[in-house]
Amino acid sequence: MKAHDGMYIDGAWRPAAGQDAIEVVNPADEQVIGRVPAGTAEDVDTAVRAARAALPGWAATPPAERAARLAALRDVLVARKDEIAETVTAELGSPLKFSQNVHAAVPIAVAGSYAELAAAYAFEEKVGNSTVHHEPIGVVGAITPWNYPLHQIVAKAAPALAAGCTVVLKPAEDTPLVAQLFAEAVHEAGVPAGVFNLVTGLGPVAGQALAEHPDIDLVSFTGSTAVGRQIGATAGAAVKKVALELGGKSANVILPSADLAKAVNVGVANVMSNSGQTCSAWTRMLVHREQYEEAVELAATAAAKYGERIGPVVSAKQQQRVRGYIEKGVAEGARLVAGGAEPPRAQGYFVAPTVFADVAPDMTIAQEEIFGPVLSIIRYEDEDDALRIANGTAYGLAGAVWAGDQPEAVAFARRMDTGQVDINGGRFNPLAPFGGYKQSGVGRELGAHGLAEYLQTKSLQF
């Protein structure tokens, strides 16, 4: 993927208003692999105008035709899946196999799901003597992070386009290349000019200009809670809807009746995959005191084995941040049983797969999102204690429960204050609503619930 020296606005690649550029770095070898323009408020404004101008036409386009464009988009992503995987590996650093199986495959599934939903969704319903129309909310400002760079773009752009909205996207500065590839794919799919627009740039400049733009109807943001809070406040002041997909500190609750080895091994793999840069990762493993030492040993062994397969974290800044948390864990008295703060390689932003035992529920490493390959194993006394610990953070994005039988796991999961729970290792479902309780966010992505976020209702009475 060769970087474009421009913004994709109104159906064409146009020169940026300013001269500044962002260097894209491969975190595995620290080499510069490309340059993209750093957009300004002026670029954002041009893109928002294009999206506004395209809105009436796209909103009036029959859902079947919008579905056809989304199906074409899915087909382009399929045709370019190897290039997608290579691009994500180059700018995010994830191992190529993971890029193929997750970073390329999941967006294809999600784009496909919205091609089907756009065609099948009831955009009109009868309620008594009323007809309720589900209309597009308008121009969407989408701001995305780098950890699942294409998935997070598609999880916003696909439902927005399915709903009849137009979009301006500001992707993460660390992973702009796959965003440019996505803009090419939208173009190839025959989506009309102005319906999707891309402005690359820095968060506090281009991102903030987009979030504050008066002609944006909905801001959909995925990233840190700190920035999300600010975007929510800005939207609140303007009386605008906002969708926030924020952090997590999810609990993996292993009940005494569970298959311990399986639960621990899947739990470690869950935290280490994508180098721990997954908002829904089960970064706290909760184990009954009688099985605790066995679980710690299993986890340390699994993490050591994972070490050869792990990619770097995205940037030097993230590497420093994660190392800081590991040092803090040691300083607060947790017992390091695998990994540590020392970088395992001289080159690249690598962090060793790290496991802490004897973690108290209120330690920093058990409360804050680390966003690196770091697992905390916490001891519980009984089920009520496990539930208190599981629910005892500001977050509520995801979680897991393992038990000997499904009803026991389900009963526990129903008491968790969290938006998603995987039962005995249940697999990812691209149609299931994804989003947070508590400070993990506002709104839901994926499937029909994700589509509804981009719609507003109008009732006609007869």
For the annotated catalytic residues, the residue numbers are: 245, 279
Our finding on whether 220 is near ligand NAP (CB under 6 A) is: no
**Angle between helix 81-92 and helix 177-188 axes, rounded to 10 deg:** 160
* 285 three-state secondary structure: strand
Backbone angles phi, psi at 24, to 5 degrees: -95, 130
Our finding on whether 147 is near ligand NAP (CB under 6 A) is: yes
Terminal Cα distance for the chain, rounded: 55
Tally the residues of the chain. Answer: 462
Our finding on whether 236 is near ligand NAP (CB under 6 A) is: no
Binding residue (CB under 6 A) for ligand NAP from 93, 141, 145, 232 = 145
Amino acid at 352: A
Our finding on whether 227 is near ligand NAP (CB under 6 A) is: yes
Q: CB of 64 within 8 A of CB of 119?
A: yes
Q: Both tokens of residue 302? A: 């699994």
Closer of 6 and 203 to Mg ion (Cβ): 203
DSSP H helices, 244-331, are 260-272, 292-306, 316-331
Closer of 145 and 441 to Mg ion (Cβ): 145
Shortest separation between residue 270's beta carbon and ligand NAP, angstroms:
15
Closer of 102 and 172 to Mg ion (Cβ): 172
Site for Mg ion in 191-220 (CB under 5 A): 203
User: Contact region for ligand NAP (CB under 6 A) — 112-120, 170-178, 257-265, 295-303?
Assistant: 170-178
Site for ligand NAP in 38-77 (CB under 6 A): none
User: Contact region for ligand NAP (CB under 6 A) — 67-75, 167-175, 281-289, 296-304?
Assistant: 167-175
Separation CA 274–CA 371 (nearest Å): 10
Closer of 262 and 321 to ligand NAP (Cβ): 321
Binding residue (CB under 6 A) for ligand NAP from 61, 131, 224, 367 = 224
385 Cβ contact list (under 8 Å, min separation 6): none
Closer of 254 and 279 to ligand NAP (Cβ): 279
Shortest separation between residue 215's beta carbon and ligand NAP, angstroms:
16
Separation CA 90–CA 396 (nearest Å): 32
Q: CB of 168 within 8 A of CB of 141?
A: yes
Binding residue (CB under 6 A) for ligand NAP from 39, 159, 207, 329 = 207
In the block, tokens 């506002």 appear at: 442
Looking at residue 373, what DSSP letter applies?
Answer: S
Rule CB under 6 A: which residues touch ligand NAP? 143-147, 170, 172-174, 202-204, 207-208, 211, 222-224, 227, 230, 245-247, 279, 369, 371
